Amino acid sequence: MAERTLDHVALVVADLEATARWYVEALGFREAYRETVAEQGVRIVGIDAGSAVIELLEPLSKDSPIERFRGDAKSRLHHIAYRVDDIAVELARLKASGLRLIDETPRKGAHGNTIAFLHPKSTGGVLTELCERSER
């Protein structure tokens, strides 16, 4: 099995600009990218955290599932993503091992990456993502 690397930690936040500014001005991180992913209904700011990224998600709609997940919190941990070299191979391996998947086939994620979510019921309650990085 390939060496494991954390790719990103994603937080759903109430105020994207204020939270991004806080990471940059208070904590000294650098903003790496920002984009809107319409398919997932979120605006995203990626904070460069060395070998990994802190991804801030702000829902585009007030009645989206991800916004309901946030609830009354200003921010809440949404998922943890680990990086894989070949997502199709890893997904097939996990499926064969009996792990429950949300995405049976990989799909397009933020920042041009290919992703797939594993079901929290199979991951100890934490929404977990596989992430194959695009060449960039």
Binding site for Co ion (CB under 5 A): 10, 81, 129
Smallest gap, in angstroms, from Cβ of residue 32 to Co ion? Answer: 14
Residue 114 C-alpha from the chain's centroid = 11
* Residue 81 vs 116, nearer CB to Co ion: 81
103 exposed, middle or buried (CB, 10 Å; 0-12, 13-18, 19+)?
middle
Query: What phi and psi, each to the nearest 5 degrees, are found at residue 45?
Result: -120, 130
* Residue 81 vs 87, nearer CB to Co ion: 81
- DSSP state, 135? P
- DSSP state, 25? H
* Residue 49 vs 98, nearer CB to Co ion: 49
